[in-house]
Amino acid sequence: MEIIGKISKGSKMDQVYIPKNRAGFSIGDYVVIKPLEEEKPIERLYYHGIKNLEPIKINIIDEILGIIYNSLNNYDNIIITGSFLEEGFNFNDIDIILITKNKINTDIIKMSIERKTGLKAHILVLNNKELIKGIETDPLYQMMLSKCVAKKRFVYKTNNVKNYKLLDLHLIKSKVLLDNFDVLSGNEKYNLTRNMIAISLYIEKGRVNNELVNENIKKYFGLKDIQEIKQNIINKKDFLRKYKLMYNKTSAKILERTSHDTKQK
């Protein structure tokens, strides 16, 4: 790997700055600095809500971007999100949002990613209009973009549009946990719980992000770490009791707001 930098003037010593998110160069490593024979373009990624990322993950992202670049003629952006970006290595798949106005078959891209990285890829294909609508109406879209790595810089300034009928449909997905607790994996339980808590917070606060949702999950269920859900080491009786209370409370809020909006019309 090569990192291209520019010499900056310092008070006592001139210096070369390199990004903290990098692969192959650790603090304390000896490196060679030499002038470029010809100017090369600098490949830059855009990090949102991420302070640091392990070098191996940066390598994987580079591999994925290369696969998509070689597979598609045109796209607006590629966004990496999900648990892959959380600290540590408790992941076995990677979530990708592909922004394009073209209809594409993602099967070949998924197969190439799994073959090269060993990770299963979940690819969500959207155009810009669909993404903006999702951010306005679905708290999970806000969570996805609160921590992500993007191929290109993006700025989405949107207003919250609380569509309570749509939120009700999103919440119903989380009812699966109440009826199928014993057959669900830890990750499935976490995703359904996250969906429910995100919707509840969205109704109250209007904006959500990963940190806010995870902190509220831990606080409400009395957990020390989110991994307790993901690793299936929670107390079933206590968890289901609290889960059902929160589900019913959130459902009642949505029903109340839906009735209110209907009367207003």
What are the φ/ψ torsions at residue 107 (nearest 5 degrees)? -60, -45
What are the φ/ψ torsions at residue 5 (nearest 5 degrees)? -130, 175
Q: Is the pLDDT of residue 50 over 80?
A: yes
CB 140 within 8 A of CB 198: yes
Residue/partner pairs of 205-210 with CB below 8 Å, 24 or more apart = 206/160, 206/162, 207/142, 207/160, 208/139, 208/142, 208/143, 208/146, 209/49, 209/142, 209/143, 209/146, 209/147, 210/49, 210/143, 210/146, 210/147
* Residue 27, SS3 per DSSP: coil
Instruction: Identify residue 154 by its one-letter amino acid code.
Output: F
Predicted confidence at residue 246, as pLDDT, reads 97
Band (pLDDT 50/70/90 cuts) for residue 172 is very high
Within 8 A by CB and 6+ apart from 176, the residues are 184, 192
Predicted confidence at residue 134, as pLDDT, reads 87
Model-wide pTM > 0.75: no
Q: What is the pLDDT of residues 173-203, one digit of tens each?
A: 999 999 999 999 998 999 999 999 999 999 9
Q: Is the pLDDT of residue 40 over 60?
A: no
Strands (E), 128-177: 148-150
Predicted confidence at residue 260, as pLDDT, reads 65
Instruction: Give the residue with greater pLDDT, 112 vs 28.
Output: 112
- State the Cα–Cα distance between residues 221 and 239, nearest whole angstrom: 7
Instruction: Give the residue with greater pLDDT, 131 vs 31.
Output: 131
Band (pLDDT 50/70/90 cuts) for residue 261 is low
Q: Are strands 7-8 and 15-16 parallel, antiparallel or unpaired?
A: antiparallel
CB 133 within 8 A of CB 159: no
- State the Cα–Cα distance between residues 151 and 135, nearest whole angstrom: 19
| Residue 64: half-sphere exposure toward Cβ, Cα within 13 Å | 32
Instruction: Identify residue 55 by its one-letter amino acid code.
Output: P
- State the Cα–Cα distance between residues 148 and 150, nearest whole angstrom: 6
- State the Cα–Cα distance between residues 235 and 225, nearest whole angstrom: 14
Q: What is the pLDDT of residues 7-16, one digit of tens each?
A: 787 787 888 8
Predicted confidence at residue 179, as pLDDT, reads 92
Q: Is the pLDDT of residue 227 over 70?
A: yes
Q: Is the pLDDT of residue 165 over 70?
A: yes
Band (pLDDT 50/70/90 cuts) for residue 150 is very high
Q: Are strands 120-126 and 148-150 parallel, antiparallel or unpaired?
A: unpaired
Which CATH fold would you assign to the domain 45-150? Answer: Beta Polymerase; domain 2 (3.30.460)
Domain ranges in the chain are: 45-150, 164-264
Name which of 34-38, 58-62, 77-81, 155-159 the model is least confident about. 34-38
Q: Is the pLDDT of residue 41 over 60?
A: no
Q: What value does the mean pLDDT take over residues 99-125?
A: 92
